[in-house]
């Protein structure tokens, strides 16, 4: 497929969108295709965008019920009526990007860009590129994702495809390619041996908010003494210092990490993940074949991610620290039969090569001249 630059559009409202964008760029690079990742919100809204992002994080951590109401409201209302005029600076940034790179393909990992692309292309005086929308949520998919124009919706799993078909989306528009995790998840290098004699279970806890709960949970796990525990705290250095003191107080080994650059390698070193049901986290856990204990679910947006794990036998929802401890005991008891069953389920559901397969599928689509010729002769473009 002859192709100019591919434009990948993302937004920093939740890490899942950026993780998908990075995975796709890695895969395009590996295929020798230039891909540019752009977050148009930054140049379009500047300091207001930074303020909105900070308050989004504060809201989902401190008042998730508010986000749930907003998420449900957006799912029901007409976005073009309410949002297009307010977000017009976004269209101007897209217009600039289309004029700058003249991409033949745009890949969107955030749900609203399809509402603006045609107008931006028209104002830029360039042909409208093909648009492929990569849906980063599972099962509980906001209608924003599929009410706008898109050549195809690329979905993370069959469970989500069933939901969209039930919502009236045409089957021809749906392609299940998997969540585009980093291609490095496809490597087996450094994968830990199954837990058992000579191999103590290794548990990874990824903290995302809820500091006090995290401190109490770490102490409970360490006092159990049956696992090797690693905790990631992101850029929360203060929490890291508190956790180190908890480990010292328990007299147990504890590894505390800040921001992790190589998540695939870190996950391959562990047997089990404890954390929030974020879109990227859940899909990366599946790609790494890590069963997951979900401690936190953002109402609305993340409910489907948790449901995906539970209904496929790949994880358990643990709303309290006590339930986490009980699940650890159950999964890792005896010869770890519970863990083995769950691990096998993750191997069936996970798609560690999804970004590569997604990119190759996109590259197999007709270029603009081919598409126009196909349409002239009545051939379906997708």
User: Which tens digits make up the pLDDT trace of 17-62?
Assistant: 999 999 999 999 999 999 999 999 888 888 877 777 676 667 666 6
The residue-averaged pLDDT of 74-88 equals: 64
The residue-averaged pLDDT of 295-322 equals: 93
Reported confidence tier of residue 224, pLDDT bands at 50, 70, 90: confident
The residue-averaged pLDDT of 236-242 equals: 94
Least confident of 81-95, 109-123, 140-154, 323-337: 81-95
Q: Judge whether residue 375 has pLDDT over 60.
A: no
Q: Is the pTM of this model over 0.85?
A: yes
Reported confidence tier of residue 239, pLDDT bands at 50, 70, 90: very high
pLDDT above 70: percentage of residues in the chain: 86
Reported confidence tier of residue 373, pLDDT bands at 50, 70, 90: very low
Q: Yes or no: say if 129 and 114 are a contact pair by the CB < 8 Å rule.
A: no
| CA 239/CA 259 separation, integer angstroms | 13
State residue 42's pLDDT score: 87
State residue 238's pLDDT score: 94
| CA 102/CA 107 separation, integer angstroms | 13
Q: Judge whether residue 284 has pLDDT over 50.
A: yes
- Helix or strand holding residue 294 (H, E): strand 292-296
Higher pLDDT, 84 or 20: 20
Secondary structure of 29-51 in the HEC alphabet?
HHCCCCEEEECCHHHHHHHHHHH
The residue-averaged pLDDT of 62-75 equals: 65
Q: Yes or no: say if 281 and 288 are a contact pair by the CB < 8 Å rule.
A: no
Tokens of 351: 């798609």
Reported confidence tier of residue 77, pLDDT bands at 50, 70, 90: low
Give the full edge-to-edge strand order of the sheet including 6-9: 35-38, 6-9, 105-108, 130-134, 152-155, 174-176
Q: Judge whether residue 209 has pLDDT over 50.
A: yes
Q: Judge whether residue 377 has pLDDT over 50.
A: no
CA distances from 299 to 59, 278, 288, 307 (A): 12, 11, 25, 12
User: Which tens digits make up the pLDDT trace of 95-114?
Assistant: 999 999 999 999 999 988 99
Find residue 18's DSSP bridge partners.
Answer: none
State residue 380's pLDDT score: 40
**Averaged pLDDT of the chain:** 88
| CA 26/CA 35 separation, integer angstroms | 9
Max CA separation in the chain (angstroms): 74
Tokens of 17: 């969108």
**DSSP-derived secondary structure letter, 282:** H
Q: Judge whether residue 76 has pLDDT over 80.
A: no
Contacts 24+ apart (CB under 8 A), 262-267: 262/184, 263/182, 264/181, 264/182, 264/184, 264/185, 264/187, 264/288, 265/184, 265/189, 265/190, 266/204, 266/230, 266/232, 267/185, 267/204
State residue 226's pLDDT score: 83
Residue 190 neighbours by CB under 8 Å, 6+ apart: 265, 268, 269
- Helix or strand holding residue 53 (H, E): helix 41-62
């Amino acid at each position: 497929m002859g192709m100019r630059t591919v434009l990948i559009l993302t937004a920093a409202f939740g890490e899942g969108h950026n993780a998908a964008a990075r995975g796709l760029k890695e895969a395009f690079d590996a295929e020798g295709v230039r891909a540019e990742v752009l977050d148009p919100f930054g140049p379009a809204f500047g300091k207001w965008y930074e303020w909105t992002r900070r308050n989004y994080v504060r809201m989902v951590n401190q008042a998730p019920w508010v986000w749930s109401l907003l998420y449900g409201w957006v799912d029901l209302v007409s976005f073009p009526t309410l949002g297009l005029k307010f977000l017009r600076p976004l269209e101007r940034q897209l217009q600039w990007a289309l004029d700058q790179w003249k991409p033949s393909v745009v890949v969107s990992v955030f749900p609203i860009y399809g509402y603006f692309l045609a107008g931006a292309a028209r104002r830029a005086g360039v042909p409208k590129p093909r648009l492929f929308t990569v849906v980063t949520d599972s099962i509980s998919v906001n209608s924003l994702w599929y009410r706008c124009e898109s050549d195809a919706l690329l979905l993370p799993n069959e469970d989500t495809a069933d939901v969209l078909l039930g919502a009236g989306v045409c089957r021809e528009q749906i392609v299940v390619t998997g969540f585009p995790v980093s291609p490095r998840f496809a490597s087996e290098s450094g994968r830990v041996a199954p837990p058992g004699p000579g191999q103590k279970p290794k548990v990874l806890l990824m903290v995302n908010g809820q500091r006090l709960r995290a401190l109490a949970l770490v102490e409970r796990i360490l006092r159990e003494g049956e696992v090797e525990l690693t905790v990631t705290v992101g850029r929360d250095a203060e929490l890291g210092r508190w956790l180190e003191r908890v480990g010292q107080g328990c007299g147990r080994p504890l590894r505390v990490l800040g921001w992790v650059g190589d998540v695939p390698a870190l996950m391959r070193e562990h047997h089990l993940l404890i954390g929030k049901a974020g879109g990227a986290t859940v899909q990366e856990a599946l790609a790494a074949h890590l069963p997951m204990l979900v401690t936190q679910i953002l109402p609305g947006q993340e409910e489907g991610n948790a449901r995906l794990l539970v209904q496929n036998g790949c994880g358990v929802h643990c709303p309290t620290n006590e339930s986490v401890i009980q699940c650890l005991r159950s999964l890792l008891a005896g010869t770890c039969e519970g863990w083995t069953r769950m691990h096998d389920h993750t191997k069936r559901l996970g798609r560690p090569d999804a970004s590569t397969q997604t990119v190759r599928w996109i590259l197999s689509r007709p270029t603009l001249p081919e598409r126009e010729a196909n349409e002239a002769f009545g051939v379906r473009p997708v």
